[in-house]
């Protein structure tokens, strides 16, 4: 089964996060829209540009140059101090949003993550999940990201570096020649500055030149690094998304629709697809949930939610969905809905939870059904089988 990988990279993270925080605190000017930079403490001779706005870039200001140099290029430049504790908070907000899509997330740096969605597509295409994440980050977190869509980490990262900001790019194997080989060799991930002059002396100026060079010549010149560069130029990368599992306090999923929906039956179908995703993750980590919460947001951005305590902790898709459907009926007043979400909480390890005597048979029957479906999904892919009937969320985003 081909892997389904996303690379999410925050656009101009430090400056964007500073701008969002300032606006939240009452500032009327968005520093992303003026010549502005994030810099070190000039008084302590740490006056270096850490991040710059697009307007600052137009003056020729580059990351890493001194603030003295930046001021010469643009006398009206606004300089703001960095705040790493605040950056960590915004990084965590992004991570928590991404957790709604997969548990398999590698935090590659404070402002970028790899996501493995191979078993978490819930019947959608990878490109549409990427578009949904991009939209939600912009609407809910107020900053933008670039997202690379591919079948391995290298190509996903390369794709996220294509035109910016606020873009979703694919880079599949069949697109390597047209999208990647035409780029200068310096754009290839892990090609260092010291290697570039040597490559150019060998007549290698583009990634395509590198990809078509005899690998043995590259190994003779660069050793193991030469082999790696050749493989990367040809889109070869078998590295795994390295993630650290931590016990969640809740598991949830939501979707923002490209077009508002006022049909309760359609909302119920989407709720079922979301519930399948949530309960699949519960069972994957041997967890049971005691509380179900459903949230909706209407076309006027009004958010409503209801939750209910279950009589017995469970990971059953049927039981949790039936509860969620009842909550949705209580919430829905016939208005146009732009977002729906389901979340479960008060989680317990399965072997730590004692089932009610009256619910044991029902739970065991549902568990066997769920376990059978999970095995099929793990072997053939999440989208192979679903109880969501005719629902195909992918079509909604076309």
CATH number for the domain spanning 211: value is: 1.10.150.20
User: How far apart, in whole angstroms, are the C-alpha atoms of residue 207 and residue 181?
Assistant: 5
DSSP 140: I
Is the pLDDT reported for residue 223 higher than 70? Answer: yes
Residue 35, domain CATH:
3.40.1170.60
What's the rounded Cα separation, in Å, for the pair 151 and 141? 27
Mark whether 112 is an active-site residue: yes
Query: Quick one: what percent of the chain has pLDDT higher than 70?
Result: 86
Catalytic residue among 104, 112, 124, 276: 112
Residue 297 lies in a domain: yes
Q: Establish if 213 belongs to a structural domain.
A: yes
Q: Could you say which of 84, 112, 142 is where a domain stops?
A: 84
CATH code at 392?
Answer: 3.30.1490.100
pLDDT of residue 119: 85
Q: Is 225 found in the same domain as 258? A: no
The number of folded domains in the chain is: 3
State the chain's mean pLDDT as an integer: 89
Same-domain pairing of 275 and 216: no
The residue among 352, 363, 348 whose CA lies nearest residue 316 is 363
Both 39 and 70 in one domain: the answer is yes
Given a cut of 90, is residue 131 above it in pLDDT? Answer: yes
> What domain range includes position 197?
181-233
Task: Tell me the three-class secondary structure of 164-202, residue by residue.
Answer: CCCCEEECCHHHHHHHHCCCEHHHCCCCCCCHHHHHHHC
Residues 211 and 257 occupy one common structural domain: no
Tens-digit pLDDT profile for residues 136-177: 999 999 999 999 999 999 999 999 999 999 999 999 999 999
Residue of 346, 360, 268 whose CA lies nearest to 307: 346
Specify whether 257 is located in the same domain as 388.
yes
Co-location of 320 and 362 in the same domain: yes
Does 377 lie in the same domain as 278? yes
367 lies in a domain? yes
> Are residue 225 and residue 268 in the same domain, yes or no?
no
Which segment, 5-9, 95-99, 284-288, is predicted with the most confidence on average? 5-9
Residue 101 lies in a domain: no
- Residue 1 falls inside a structural domain: no
In a shared domain, residues 265 and 344: yes
Give pLDDT, residue 387.
52
The predicted-structure confidence for 346-383, as pLDDT tens digits, reads as follows 998 887 554 444 455 556 666 666 776 666 655 555 55
pTM confidence score: 0.77
Is 268 found in the same domain as 196? no
For 263-309, what is each residue's pLDDT tens digit? 999 999 999 999 998 998 898 888 999 999 999 999 998 999 999 99
Residue 139 lies in a domain: no
Q: What is the pLDDT of residue 393?
A: 45
Residues 283 and 380 in one domain: yes
């Amino acid at each position: 089964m081909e892997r389904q990988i996303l690379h999410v990279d925050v656009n101009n993270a430090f400056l964007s996060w500073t701008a969002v925080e300032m606006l939240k605190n009452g500032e009327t000017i968005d520093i992303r829209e003026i010549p502005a930079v994030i810099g070190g403490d000039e008084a302590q001779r740490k006056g270096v540009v850490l991040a710059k706005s697009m307007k600052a870039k137009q003056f020729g200001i580059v990351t890493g140059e001194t603030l003295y140099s930046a001021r010469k290029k643009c006398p009206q430049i606004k300089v703001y101090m960095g705040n790493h504790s605040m950056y960590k908070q915004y990084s965590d907000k992004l991570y928590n949003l991404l957790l709604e899509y997969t548990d398999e997330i590698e935090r590659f740096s404070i402002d970028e993550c790899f996501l493995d969605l191979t078993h978490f597509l819930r019947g959608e295409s990878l490109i549409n999940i990427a578009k949904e994440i991009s939209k939600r980050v912009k609407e809910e977190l107020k900053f933008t990201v670039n997202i690379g869509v591919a079948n391995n980490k290298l190509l996903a990262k390369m794709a996220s570096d294509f035109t910016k900001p606020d873009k979703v790019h694919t880079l599949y194997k069949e697109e390597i020649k047209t999208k990647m080989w035409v780029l200068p060799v310096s754009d290839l991930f892990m090609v260092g500055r010291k290697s570039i002059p040597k490559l150019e002396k060998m007549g290698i100026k583009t990634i395509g030149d590198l990809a078509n060079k005899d690998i043995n010549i590259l190994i003779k010149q660069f050793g193991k690094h030469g082999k790696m560069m050749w493989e990367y130029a040809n889109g070869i990368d078998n590295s795994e998304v390295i993630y650290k599992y931590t016990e969640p306090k809740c598991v949830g999923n939501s979707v923002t629709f490209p077009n508002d929906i006022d049909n309760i039956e359609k909302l119920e179908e989407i709720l079922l697809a979301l519930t399948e995703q949530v309960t699949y993750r519960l069972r994957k980590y041997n967890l049971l949930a005691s509380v179900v919460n459903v949230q909706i947001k209407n076309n006027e951005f009004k958010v409503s939610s209801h939750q209910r305590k279950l009589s017995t902790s469970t990971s059953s898709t049927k039981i949790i969905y039936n509860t969620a459907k009842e909550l949705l009926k209580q919430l829905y007043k016939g208005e146009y809905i732009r977002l729906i979400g389901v979340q479960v909480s008060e989680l317990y390890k399965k072997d730590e939870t004692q089932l009610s005597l009256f619910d044991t048979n029902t739970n065991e029957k549902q568990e066997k059904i769920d376990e059978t479906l999970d095995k099929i999904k793990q072997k053939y892919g999440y989208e192979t089988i679903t109880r969501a009937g005719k629902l195909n969320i992918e079509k909604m985003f076309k």
